[in-house]
Amino acid sequence: MPKMKTKSGAKKRFSLTATGKVKFKPANKKHGMSKRPTDMRQQSRRMEVMAEQDAKKVRRFFLPNGL
């Protein structure tokens, strides 16, 4: 059976914490932030931890080697 490969797009979009949680950058926060409130801009800087139901699928299908 061939090796399982990590999806190239997932390498760029997700990362794993030391405990195995999946971190991601939320969408719709690339431009046009000058008209948004200051607290929303500050929240958009950081990555978020994915819900466990979705994280299971990401780890299994997209990041099998645990990047």
* Assigned token pair, 33: 């932030």
Domain of residue 67, residue span: 8-17+48-67
Per-residue pLDDT, 37: 94
- Residue 27 belongs to a domain: no
> What is this structure's pTM?
0.77
What confidence category does residue 6 fall into, taking pLDDT thresholds of 50, 70 and 90? confident
Q: Each residue of 15-58: pLDDT tens digit?
A: 999 999 999 998 888 889 999 999 988 888 889 999 999 999 99
What confidence category does residue 4 fall into, taking pLDDT thresholds of 50, 70 and 90? confident
- How many structural domains comprise the chain? 1
* Assigned token pair, 47: 């990555």
**Bridge pairing between strands 14-16 and 22-24:** antiparallel
User: Residue 42 and residue 7: Cα distance in Å, rounded?
Assistant: 30
- Residue 36 belongs to a domain: no
Beta strands in the chain (DSSP E): 14-16, 22-24, 48-49
Per-residue pLDDT, 67: 64
- Residue 40 belongs to a domain: no
| Terminal C-alpha separation, the chain | 21
- Residue 53 belongs to a domain: yes
- Residue 3 belongs to a domain: no
- Residue 65 belongs to a domain: yes
